[in-house]
Amino acid sequence: MNHTTMKDLPESERPYERFRRLGAEALSDAELLAIILKTGTREMTSLALARELLSKCHGNLLNLYELSFEELTEHRGIGPVKAIQLKAVAELSGRIARTNSSYRLRFDNPESVALYYMETLRHKQKEIFMAAFFDAKCHFLGDAVIAEGGADSAAVAVSELFREALRRRTVQLIVLHNHPSGDPGPSPADRELTERICAGARLLGLHVSDHIVIGDRRYYSFLEHNTMPAKPFAG
């Protein structure tokens, strides 16, 4: 099958040539996407295909990121190979962004933690329970998804949380989960789970700094709202 290619465009409009002359920063989202797609269809160039794909996502690259492999292949001009390439680029960009943000991640700053995980968690259609781990000097040791599902399944994963924390030689940790509804207000189950985690952590000599609930561009920090369980009085 013959595809319409970049060569069918005037040289001044070809994303490759514009990239070389002006740099990546000067290119639009559609032009950058066209470079990844390489070819279009019999009816349209890769640039037109990129614009059509972005239009389907209401012009928002984040919406493109959320499209599944199957959803991408349903779009005309996007076969399995292009869908894999797009998903790979999306995953790489997300990992680069998270790696860059991790250097600014502060254990004592709930906002920095919430923003770091916001794009990862706010689009999820089911609850994800995870934790961020830190050493004694508050250096970030990485994170892990502990459970997926509702609050009930998260609650039974407390032992797995502690196994992961001890495996990483964690001293301090922050637990997080999302609310698919978009409202980050904690439920009674969330508060009970926080109590259980903090009680178990004290027995293991670990410190739980915060429980952050991620909503849609909003978050709730137990630490900021002074609702973290108090340590028991040592008489």
Whether 234 shows a pLDDT value over 50: the answer reads no
Q: Which residue has the higher pLDDT, 112 or 162?
A: 162
* Highest mean pLDDT, choosing among 93-97, 141-145, 208-212: 208-212
**How much is the pTM?**
0.60
Q: pLDDT value at position 94?
A: 66
Residue 197 above 90 pLDDT? yes
Question: Residue 172: what pLDDT?
Answer: 93
Candidates 3.40.50.1980, 3.40.50.150, 3.40.50.300, 3.40.140.10; correct CATH number of 105-221?
3.40.140.10
Give yes or no for residue 102 having a pLDDT over 70.
Answer: no
> 6-99 sits in which CATH class?
mainly alpha
pLDDT at 235 over 60: no
Confidence bin at 169 (pLDDT 50/70/90): very high
DSSP designation for 16: H
**Which H or E element spans position 121?**
helix 110-121
The token duo for 222 is 């137990």
Residue 171 has pLDDT above 60, yes or no: yes
Give ∠ CA 85-105-210 in degrees, rounded to 5.
Answer: 115
**Which pLDDT band, with edges at 50, 70 and 90, does 43 fall under?**
confident
Half-sphere exposure of 204 (CA within 13 A, CB side): 23
Query: Which residues face 172 on adjacent strands?
Result: 134, 207
Tell me the longest C-alpha to C-alpha distance in the chain: 81
What is the reported pLDDT for 199?
Answer: 94
What percentage of the chain exceeds 90 in pLDDT? 31
pLDDT band at 214 (very low <50, low <70, confident <90, very high): very high
Q: Say if CB 166 and CB 204 are below 8 A apart.
A: yes
User: What is residue 106's predicted lDDT score, i.e. its pLDDT?
Assistant: 62
- How high is the pLDDT of residue 217? 87
Look at residue 101 in the predicted model and tell me its pLDDT.
Answer: 54
Length of the chain: 235
Domain ranges in the chain are 6-99, 105-221
Give the per-residue SS3 of 163-178: HHHHHCCCCEEEEEEE
pLDDT at residue 93 tops 80: no
Q: What would the mean pLDDT of 188-211 be, rounded to a whole number?
A: 94
pLDDT reported for residue 3? 53
Distance CA(57)–CA(38), nearest Å, equals 20
Better-scored residue on pLDDT, 233 or 182:
182
Residue with the bigger pLDDT between 129 and 43: it is: 129
